Amino acid sequence: MKLLSWNVHGLGNPRGIRTLCDLIKKEALDIVFLQETRLQVCDFDSCKFKLGFSNCLVVSIEGRSGGIALLWGRDINLTILNYSKYHIDACVTVDGISTDKFFLTGVYGHPNHSLRHRTWDLICSLCRQVDEAWLVFGDFNEILYQHEKWGGRDRLERQMLAFRQVVNDCSLRDIGFRGPKYTWCNGRESCSSISVRLDRLFGNPQWWARFAHARVLHEGAAYSDHSPIWLLSEVATVERRRVKLFGFEAMWLGETGCDNIVEDTWRGATYSNSMDDLMRKISNCGKILQAWNHTSFGHVQKKLTQAKLRLRQLQEMDLMSLRRVEQQAIREDIQKWKKNSIGKLLNDEGEWQEGELRDGLITEYFQQMFTTANQRGPMDFLVALAGRVSNAMNEDFSKRYTEAEV
């Protein structure tokens, strides 16, 4: 089983969706718990399908902050037990056996430290029996000990003590981690930099007995001020194999090679007016563009992976953000290879166009590309399509239904 917990710091930005999609596709995740989505339920529906999940529970934001969501794959037998704006509690049944199950609780700690006792009371109220495996994880907005914070003022001892108390009362144990020590950073330089371990996973004794070899990884990310954290357990699920579909990359626009390939393919020999010929041209154009992309831009995913590795290594070494400029340069490098948006375009006069003027250039470009001097009726291609319903079949379909059929 693979699980991801991440405070995404808002998913309204397309960049956040792309980053999350990349993480999910890379790891073939089974369960994802998101905090700070800053989305309403209706806004999250489109995100669910973009992320490749058919199952999810979304808790809307209140005001302009908050919002949590739990997503799980088709192969995961997960039942929601209860939820609030600060938690989602669920039960996972393994291999369809009702007695073979464990519980998980995704937590988003109250952002107001004076009200955080409500989070601790909530966790205690959900505490499982000694024979029930229980995983508790998320962004708790609190630390257990002073050494889990770097920079800024010391944490108040009573705040940490309250967190430690609920962990002890519920017989929970930190699963640990590999990777950067801190999961949140304010992004400031030098003496103003603050880094804290706010995100973590706990398991009770029964969970530890069952998932003794589970591992937690802290990953660096170019998006959000929190790091995504992963749980990898020894209970394997069938990995969802994803077929890589062709996609037109934004970085191709403006490249002469791209223009030539599209124009040459579209103006190539036409053997008929059938839809098959149209689809053949589109398919051929995609194959040629992919080959051209490999030779012109290299292996994008490889470069993206290398940039992420450099960012992670730098985050581990540079705890005080003394090399913040270098970190930002790597983040921009990552976004360069992931970018799927167009900020501005150069027109024929050599002037950069943004906003509505940029959109007008795009519209005009494709209008010219798909406009020919010898226009034909828009439905001409239907002439070559073979009929599938014969006259006899049509008569049979048109008959009135009988009482026996009903």
Q: What is the pLDDT of residues 214-238, one digit of tens each?
A: 999 998 766 778 999 999 986 444 4
The pLDDT of 35-47, averaged and rounded, is: 85
Q: What is the pLDDT of residue 204?
A: 96
Determine the Cα–Cα distance for residues 30 and 11; give it in Å rounded to an integer: 20
Among 63-72, 143-152, 292-301, whose mean pLDDT is lowest? 292-301
Q: What is the pLDDT of residue 235?
A: 47
Per cent of the chain over pLDDT 90 is: 37
Among 41-55, 122-136, 369-383, whose mean pLDDT is lowest? 369-383
Q: What is the pLDDT of residue 133?
A: 95
Q: Are 363 and 260 in contact (CB under 8 A)?
A: no
Q: Which residue has the higher pLDDT, 376 or 210?
A: 210
Determine the Cα–Cα distance for residues 158 and 114; give it in Å rounded to an integer: 11
For residue 64 the two structure tokens come to 């302009």
Mean pLDDT of the chain: 82
The pLDDT of 377-403, averaged and rounded, is: 71
Determine the Cα–Cα distance for residues 71 and 30; give it in Å rounded to an integer: 8
Inform me whether the pLDDT recorded for 141 exceeds 80: yes
The pLDDT of 203-212, averaged and rounded, is: 93
pLDDT in tens, 349-369: 878 887 778 878 887 877 776
Q: What is the pLDDT of residue 145?
A: 96
pTM of the model: 0.62
Q: What is the pLDDT of residue 10?
A: 84
Q: Which residue has the higher pLDDT, 32 or 333?
A: 32
Per cent of the chain over pLDDT 70 is: 79
pLDDT in tens, 155-185: 999 999 999 999 999 999 999 999 989 999 9
Length of the chain counted residue by residue? 406
Q: What is the pLDDT of residue 346?
A: 80
Q: Could you tell me which residues are beta bridge partners of residue 104?
A: 90, 135
The pLDDT of 295-302, averaged and rounded, is: 68
Highest mean pLDDT among 35-44, 137-146, 252-261: 137-146
**DSSP element (H, E) containing 345:** strand 344-346
Order the strands of the 68-72 sheet from edge to edge: 55-59, 68-72, 31-35, 2-7, 229-232, 215-218
Torsion over CA: 318, 323, 327, 330 (sign): negative
Q: Are 160 and 200 in contact (CB under 8 A)?
A: no
Q: Which domains does the chain have, with CATH numbers?
A: 2-232 (3.60.10.10), 250-384 (no CATH)
Residue 188: pLDDT band with limits 50, 70, 90: confident
The pLDDT of 342-347, averaged and rounded, is: 76
Q: Which residue has the higher pLDDT, 207 or 247?
A: 207
Inform me whether the pLDDT recorded for 335 exceeds 70: no
Determine the Cα–Cα distance for residues 45 and 308; give it in Å rounded to an integer: 29
Measured between its terminal Cα atoms, the distance across the chain in Å is: 47
Distances (CA, A) of 364 to 146, 359, 367: 59, 9, 5
Helix axes 256-266, 355-369, angle to 10 degrees: 30
The pLDDT of 126-134, averaged and rounded, is: 94
Q: What is the pLDDT of residue 373?
A: 56
What DSSP designation does 170 have? T
**Residue 222 CA, distance from chain mean position:** 13
Q: What is the pLDDT of residue 240?
A: 47
**Residue closest to 303 by CA, chosen among 341, 330, 343:** 330
Q: Which residue has the higher pLDDT, 382 or 257?
A: 257
**Residue closest to 71 by CA, chosen among 29, 39, 100, 42:** 29
Q: Which residue has the higher pLDDT, 103 or 186?
A: 103
Q: Are 338 and 18 in contact (CB under 8 A)?
A: yes
Q: Which amino acid is at 260?
A: N
The pLDDT of 263-278, averaged and rounded, is: 73
Residue 239: pLDDT band with limits 50, 70, 90: very low
Q: What is the pLDDT of residue 270?
A: 65
Alpha helices in 92-204 (DSSP H): 117-125, 157-169
